[in-house]
Amino acid sequence: MSQFPASSALDLFRCDGRVALVTGASSGLGERFARVLHAAGATVVVAARRLDRLESLVADLPGAIAIQADLSEAEDRERLASEAERLAGPVRILVNNAGIGGVGGIESEELDLFRRVMELNVTAVWHLSKLCAPAMIAAGGGSIINIASMLGHVGATPVKQANYCASKGAVVNLTREMALQWARKLVTVNALCPGWFPSEMTEGMESDEGSQRFITANSPIPRMGEAHELDGALLLLASAAGTFITGQSLIVDGGWTAR
Ligand SMILES: NC(=O)c1ccc[n+]([C@@H]2O[C@H](COP(=O)([O-])OP(=O)(O)OC[C@H]3O[C@@H](n4cnc5c(N)ncnc54)[C@H](OP(=O)(O)O)[C@@H]3O)[C@@H](O)[C@H]2O)c1
């Protein structure tokens, strides 16, 4: 067997010539995902509600396009999918990243919050995937990466978050079913499931002593993740390096769920 040059293996992770749509790219993990996909050669389309944040991001990423959209609104999801295709071409990499959650015990959890979390974290993932898949399939396939969470696999308490856990568990199994339905159409669908990472969602945890004690006591790798520690997992699932991986959860959590 001839020796496989390492440079060819690394080339598999490139995303040149592909259009990547990243939702929730105005902050946190989504902004990082957009930067990483751009660095790997993709034409990046970013979406969220805060247009000013998206515009300063695309100013850094030549060729990138910003589209303002409230992903909890069906009409905005429809407009986003058609605008992205009109402006950039068929989406070949879809990163369903926009997400929210609320903390508090079930007794005090508002029905409206639970519904809003499910609408954005689950329904929007299903809907945007459904809207982007036909063009992706017609273009020869692609990859859908649903940003779930380690909390799609385990409960959160003592951080009480029934709404969030329910939504991320749903995303994990929605991912499996979408993967099965589209496997023969050359669309891979996987869930990327982070543990604790600094972002607006986890704001304050980094500097809060109690949170840090909680993480060091419970996480086998006793710290929060660092932004770059999701880059490799994202590119694996987005690129030719991952074309035989589908329906899976890639959990990047410092071992939290291995316990
Ligand atoms: N950070 C962690 O520790 C962690 C762990 C596991 C999973 N995750 C998941 O990672 C994803 C990103 O979260 P993050 O930690 O980066 O938090 P973040 O900084 O709060 O980012 C959330 C993103 O979602 C967008 N968003 C919220 N509501 C939206 C709406 N209605 N329409 C469109 N966009 C909306 C926000 O943009 P606008 O406000 O501008 O709309 C923002 O860009 C989420 O799905 C989250 O559940 C995070």
**Can you give the residue ranges of every domain in the chain?**
14-247
Ligand 1 centroid, distance to 6 Cα (angstroms): 35
- Answer whether 154's CB lies under 8 Å from 106's CB: no
Ligand 1 centroid, distance to 203 Cα (angstroms): 12
pLDDT digits (tens, 9 = 90+) for 112-164: 999 999 999 999 999 999 999 999 999 999 999 999 999 999 999 999 999 99
Label residue 244 exposed, middle or buried (CB < 10 Å: 0-12, 13-18, 19+): exposed
Q: What is the DSSP letter of 228?
A: G
Per CATH, which fold does 14-247 belong to? Rossmann fold (3.40.50)
Of residues 252 and 7, which shows the higher confidence score? 252
Q: What number is the average pLDDT over the span 214-238?
A: 97
Ligand 1 centroid, distance to 66 Cα (angstroms): 16
Which one is catalytic: 13, 164, 196, 197?
164
Q: Is 60 a catalytic residue?
A: no
- Assign 79 a pLDDT band (cuts: 50, 70, 90): very high
- Assign 1 a pLDDT band (cuts: 50, 70, 90): very low
Alpha-carbon separation of residue 47 from 86, 97, 159, 233, 256 (angstroms): 15, 10, 29, 21, 30
Q: What number is the average pLDDT over the span 210-225?
A: 95
How far is 127 from 102, CA to CA, in rounded Å? 22
Pocket of ligand 1 (CB under 6 A): 23-30, 48-50, 53, 69-72, 97-100, 120, 147, 149, 194, 196-197, 199-202
